Amino acid sequence: MLSGQRHMLNGLCHMLNGKCHMLSGQCHMLDGQCQVLSGQCHMLSWQRHMLNGLCHMQNGQCHMLDRQCHMLSGQCHMLSKQCHMLTQLQAASTLDAILGSFCIFRYE
C-alpha cells in the first residue's frame, strides 16, 4: 500500500481517499478493501466469500447459490472453475500489494 491507497493489479479497482473507484465494471468495498466483483474470494473472519455471489465458504463448508459446489483437499471447487488459496503475495500473478489470503477463481 502506498500513501494509504490500495490498488488492484488489473488497474481497474482502487481505493483513493477512503473511497472505492473503478474504471469499468463494478467495484465493491469489503472490510475496508476495494474488491472487483468478478470472481474473487476475500478472506474475512476465516470465511471465504465469492464476491460474485456464486461460491463461498462458510463455517468450513463450501456453499453455492445456483450451482453445485464442493470441498476438495481444502479448496473450493465449482464446475470448471477452481478456487485457489493464495497465502503469499503473487506479484506476477493476479494480486499485488494486498495483504492477507485470497481465493482466486481461475477458468480451466
Q: Where are the domains of the chain?
A: 38-107
pLDDT single digits (tens) 60-102: 545 443 333 444 444 444 433 334 433 333 333 333 333 233 4
Mean pLDDT over the full length of the chain: 41
Whole-angstrom distance between the N-terminal and C-terminal Cα of the chain?
31
Strands (E) in the chain, as ranges, are 13-16, 19-22, 27-30, 33-36, 40-44, 47-50, 55-58, 61-64, 70-72, 75-78, 81-86, 102-107
The pTM of the full predicted model, rounded to 2 decimals, is 0.17
The dihedral of CA 96, 100, 26, 55: what is its sign? positive
Nearest-angstrom CA–CA distance, 108 and 99: 26
